[in-house]
Amino acid sequence: MPARDFKHDSLIRIFFSYFRPHMGLFLLDMACALLMCVIDLSFPYVSRVCLYELIPQNLYHAFFTVIAVMIAAYFLRAGLQYIVCYWGHAFGVLVEADIRQDLFSHLQTLSFGFYDKNRTGHLMSRMTAELFDITELAHHGPEDLFISGVTLAGAIVIMFTIQWRLALVMLILIPIFVAVVSVNRRKMAAAAKRVKQVTAGINADIESSISGIRTAKAFSNENAESEKFSKANERFKTSKKERYKAMASFFASLEFFMCILPVTVIGVGGLLIMDGKMDYIDLITFSLYTSTFINPMRKVSTLSELLVDGIAGLSRFVDLMRIEPDLSDKPGAVELNGVEGRIDVNDVSFSYGRDGGDVLHHVSLHIQPGETVAIVGPSGGGKTTLCSLIPRFYDVHDGSISIDGLDVRDVRQQSLRRNIGVVQQDVFLFAGSIMENIRYGRPGAAEDEVLEAAKRAEIYDDIMAMPDGFDTYVGERGVLLSGGQKQRISIARIFLKDPPVLILDEATSALDSVTEAKIQRAFDELAKGRTTLIIAHRLSTVRNASRILVIRDGAVTEEGTHEELIARSGDYAQLYNTQNLHA
């Protein structure tokens, strides 16, 4: 695939760059289209020859030979039409697939910050409906423009050889037609872009409503959701009406020109006949060429709509491709190999860019290889944020974070995250089987390794009790499993990944006490010889940690062992005593 400069290249240059890998199909499409034009242009001229020479002279054999040749030509044209329709659309699909692949790959490079700001439905719309518009433009755009241009130019040239006065009148009408198309195309383009924006918003609302249907039902808010969707639907209807209004003006003026052409031919041609400057056969020929004239002009009108939709989709595609990742590997970034697990957080401050200011304030933390450090504190204090900075899901604003003495900004992101295992508080399972979801921890792992990971995560027995075992379908986002089962499957992924650094973000929060105790033993085994950070609200799960940090309001307020912090009677002791009181 050729390299593209999305930042500096024009839309047209980017668009046609996707043609190059499939140029063979494109040229086949254009060649067949050219032959179709030649056949279409030949029929009126052949008819003129027949009317002037073959029929008056009663040349039966020659006449029916010509008719047979034209029938054969139209059989050939049917075959050419098949090629244009099938292989032309196949070419468009290949272009669409390449564009979608590039877009998906680009989305994979964008940082968490991008997804924090953009709704899934908007991105889905750009990946599907809008790319289809580009496909239609890729197939029909050059082809229809080529067919229309060749047919119009060929027809005008032949018409000038027959009667230049009438041909000149037809030629004068073309710039007027082009002007009308151009003015109305701009109006349609603006309306089409608004429709795409509103449609993307509707897709986002639908995705959000379907994803949250259980919450809506739990709160009996189905009517509220319907009302919210109705408002979005009204915006859609308004934008569609604006577009159709622009289309109506376009097609009304277009149809006027389509109808006025044959009238012009008869009117001017009749005048020339009465003046003795033209005969009926030439007028019939002109009428046939007028029909040939009209078809490409209709193609141009259809092309205008395709052009509007396609360019609007292409523009939004390029806008997305021009978004640069917040985080990227710096030139000369190194691979992180042979990780021991020493983590140094040096005077780190961080903000998500909201008005609330910094989430973390001058946080420093030094963890030795193989050490287990627990991070506790009230909700919203910055625990998860701190642990999101270590695998570089976000970049620190001030200070630095290092692993084995290497600043995480100086190493390749993939190698960094390959060495860190994260069990997040918000568990996400892909729609697929349990086997696929566990194997996600290390794609390509053997089945025995997956089974062993499930056993160590205390989920094996649950899986084997299911009708389809490891082939059990988990549903969208794992909805067919219990919260505890989902969390244990996510833990099994980490057992399979087997990284040197572990981050457990409320990893046992959805488990009952018995299962939690089993998982805790498994974690203790997994943590041996590995650097482990544990974010926990249940302080009973972190009593055996090497050190415990208390983070409140974005700052480390206490640090020490469980016994040391209890003895200080500070924030940790207060949290611990409160939990024991309510236990």
- List the domain boundaries for the chain: 11-321, 343-582
CA pair distance 240, 251, nearest whole angstrom = 16
Structure confidence at residue 583 (pLDDT):
47
pLDDT in tens, 113-125: 777 777 776 677 7
pLDDT in tens, 270-297: 888 888 888 888 888 888 787 777 777 7
Q: Report the share of the chain in percent with pLDDT over 90.
A: 3
Long-range CB pairs of 522-527 (<8 Å, 24+ gap) are: 522/456, 522/457, 522/458, 522/491, 522/495, 525/456, 526/456, 526/494, 526/495, 526/502, 527/372, 527/502
Structure confidence at residue 158 (pLDDT):
84
Task: Report which of residues 250 and 449 the model is more confident about.
Answer: 449
Query: Which is it for strands 360-367 and 555-560: parallel, antiparallel or unpaired?
Result: unpaired
Which pair of structure tokens corresponds to residue 507?
A: 């990893």
* Nearest CA among 445, 391, 451, 400 for reference residue 421: 391
Mean pLDDT of 5-10: 76
CA angle 12, 17, 19 (to 5 degrees): 105
Mean pLDDT of 542-566: 84
Residues 6+ away with beta carbon under 8 Å from 133: 306, 309, 310, 312, 313
In the predicted model, is pLDDT for residue 91 greater than 80? Answer: yes
CA pair distance 92, 80, nearest whole angstrom = 17
- In the chain, what is the greatest distance between 2 CA atoms, to the nearest angstrom? 121
Structure confidence at residue 580 (pLDDT):
65
In the predicted model, is pLDDT for residue 370 greater than 60? Answer: yes
Q: What is the mean pLDDT of the chain?
A: 80
Structure confidence at residue 219 (pLDDT):
56
Mean pLDDT of 375-396: 84
Structure confidence at residue 309 (pLDDT):
76
Range picked from 228-237, 317-326, 349-358, 522-531 for highest mean pLDDT? 317-326
In the predicted model, is pLDDT for residue 360 greater than 60? Answer: yes
CA pair distance 273, 267, nearest whole angstrom = 10
Lowest mean pLDDT among 20-24, 51-55, 195-199: 195-199
CA pair distance 490, 497, nearest whole angstrom = 11
Which pair of structure tokens corresponds to residue 324?
A: 């640069």
pLDDT in tens, 405-456: 888 888 888 888 888 888 876 777 887 888 888 888 888 888 898 888 888 8
Q: Which CATH class is domain 11-321?
A: mainly alpha
* Residue 119: CA count within 13 A, CB half-sphere: 16
Cα torsion at 114, 119, 124, 127 (round to 10°)? -30
The pLDDT-based confidence of 75 (bands split at 50, 70, 90) is very high
Structure confidence at residue 78 (pLDDT):
93
Check: CB of residue 37 under 8 Å from CB of residue 150: yes
CA pair distance 170, 176, nearest whole angstrom = 10
Which pair of structure tokens corresponds to residue 365?
A: 């933390």
Mean pLDDT of 250-273: 80
Q: Which residue has the tokens 């009126």?
A: 44
Structure confidence at residue 214 (pLDDT):
60
Structure confidence at residue 511 (pLDDT):
62
Residues 6+ away with beta carbon under 8 Å from 553: 361, 381, 382
CA pair distance 458, 133, nearest whole angstrom = 49
| Topology adopted by domain 343-582 | Rossmann fold (3.40.50)
CA pair distance 519, 267, nearest whole angstrom = 91
* Nearest CA among 317, 279, 408 for reference residue 133: 317
Structure confidence at residue 45 (pLDDT):
85
* Nearest CA among 17, 22, 19, 20 for reference residue 4: 17
Mean pLDDT of 329-353: 85
Amino acid at 214: R
The pLDDT-based confidence of 79 (bands split at 50, 70, 90) is very high
In the predicted model, is pLDDT for residue 556 greater than 80? Answer: yes
Mean pLDDT of 17-33: 89
Mean pLDDT of 191-205: 71
> By CB neighbour count within 10 A (0-12 exposed, 13-18 middle, 19+ buried), where does 142 fall?
buried
